[in-house]
Amino acid sequence: MKSTDSFFKSQSQAPLLETLALLAGQPDAAFYTPGHKRGQGIATNLANLLGYLVFSADLPELPELDHLFAPEGVIAQAQSLAAEAFGAKKTWFLVNGSTCGIIAAILATCQTGDKIILPRNIHQSAIAGLMLSGAVPIFLNPAYNSNEDLAYSITPSSLETALKQNPDAKAVMIVYPTYQGICGDLEAIISLTRQYHLPLLVDEAHGGHFSFHPHLPPSALSLGADLVIQSTHKVLGSLTQSSMLHLQGQRVEADRINQALQLLQTSSPSYLLLASLDAARQQMALEGQQLLTKTLQLAQVARSQIAQIPGLSVLELEEPLPGFRWLDQTRLTVNVSPLGLTGYEVDEILHQQMGVTAELPMLHHLTFIITFGNTEDDINKLVQALKTIAADAVVDDRRAPVRPPSPVFLSPSPIPTQSLSPREAFFLPRETRAIHQTIGYISAELVCPYPPGIPVLMPGEMINPQAITYLQQVVASGAMITGCSDPTLATLKILRP
């Protein structure tokens, strides 16, 4: 274990960023890609938007910049520093987002026909991992608070039941935290996976900041997870599409991850993305606690002021609940249903009329991400906008969230029957039918309201009436549907009977 002084000394380096900056400042006669040749041939309107300097740093895998798939130089150094900062044995930089990290984690642990236990509120990228690997999903419903209409995490008891029923499972994957910052009892879940000698794969896309402040939930790596995927761009300071995959322990072979990532990542990685990961790690290692203290203070101001607006309530955690042990206080989830408006309607008003944009609208809620990039002015603008909307609305107290002494937890809509594996269904013949004529047939499509990209239907599942009713409600409320050929959901593709 390094001392604090030696840690900060090593973390003050940014080898990949520094080398890229050096090369960007040393123009040469470029007879290599990309075609714009360090910006000399870039379109003027694009250069006017971004400036010419960024294109001088848009370089390929020059000898000084190392190679992403076989790093021995500055990429290897940068990844090693990231592993040290986040508490991993080994870290990989990702230039295809957390999507490729999640798929790689599944490919590294599951073969065709292998069972993997995972929550139903998994991201659609995990479904792509099932299709590519041929793994068979054992889905668990997360705990669901019907009073708030919010899904939490899976519970240790539901996982234990699944493990007993599927002793041949090869891996477990969970979401930690959810989009709303809800964190389940990861300690207990890790204890169970250890008992069954299974690797735990954690989609920690929204928790990359957890390692850097004591008042945030514990990071998955600190609790002992085997593979952790983080969207560094979502809550830290790297560029969009850049993420990290972290490994610790011996349950997953690093070579398997290397092989999987070579299938999933481009052979021409953007060094702008890679250098932004190096810079984001350096920033958090050196200044993370200070930056996040400011973030938590801003979030607390927003929470307290919004909670006082008539007709609005803010998601809080007063005591641990099934599937809900910790809450990321930088994630702000506001229930707007007493206003007589959906979250989609409030989102449109905020964005179109008031210059405030939420991260995630839902039927009853809006979720806002607060990071160290936000300012006091941002918080004031958000609070004032919500006050204005609430003042113009007719508050219906009957719509307010019910808060009994013991919240009622029910399963959300039933998980559709898995008739075929996602991979099997992906390759079978299909046909298009009117949506009301698809009930009882097997879906040939992945159907996801987006965001957050959590599948309601996926290839290989029997289509039930509850799924169709929910999807039609979501469409009518203004949400976007992705993954299927008809985003209006007038039609749906089924496997040919």
pLDDT 10s digits, 310-364: 999 999 999 999 999 999 999 999 999 999 998 989 999 999 999 999 999 988 8
Better pLDDT: 247 or 149? 247
d(CA 337, CA 341): 6
d(CA 51, CA 68): 27
pLDDT score, position 416: 77
> What mean pLDDT, rounded, does the chain reach?
92
* pTM metric for this prediction: 0.93
d(CA 496, CA 485): 16
Omega cis (within 30) before 177: yes
What do you get for the CA distance between the two ends of the chain, in Å?
61
3-state SS, residue 479: coil
On the CB side of 448, how many CA atoms lie within 13 Å of its CA?
20
With beta carbons less than 8 A apart as the criterion, state whether 327 and 445 touch: no
Does the pLDDT of residue 461 top 70, yes or no? yes
- Reduced 3-state DSSP string for 340-376: CCCHHHHHHHHHHHHCCCCCEECCCEEEEECCCCCCH
pLDDT score, position 398: 52
Q: Give the CA angle between residues 361, 362, 366 to the nearest 5°.
A: 50
On the CB side of 261, how many CA atoms lie within 13 Å of its CA?
25
pLDDT score, position 411: 45
Overall average pLDDT of the 263-269 stretch: 96
Q: What are phi and psi of 25, to 5 degrees?
A: -90, 5
d(CA 320, CA 310): 27
How does strand 313-314 pair with strand 331-335?
Answer: antiparallel
Residues in the chain: 497
With beta carbons less than 8 A apart as the criterion, state whether 409 and 459 touch: no
User: In the structure encoding, which two tokens stand for residue 109, read together?
Assistant: 């642990």
Overall average pLDDT of the 410-426 stretch: 77
pLDDT score, position 47: 96
Domains and their CATH numbers in the chain: 4-286 (3.40.640.10), 295-399 (3.90.1150.10), 422-495 (3.90.100.10)
The 10s digit of each residue's pLDDT in 38-76 is 999 999 999 999 999 999 999 999 999 999 999 999 999
User: In the structure encoding, which two tokens stand for residue 316, read together?
Assistant: 């809080």
Helices and strands (H and E) in the chain: how many: 17, 19
Any idea what DSSP says for residue 178? -
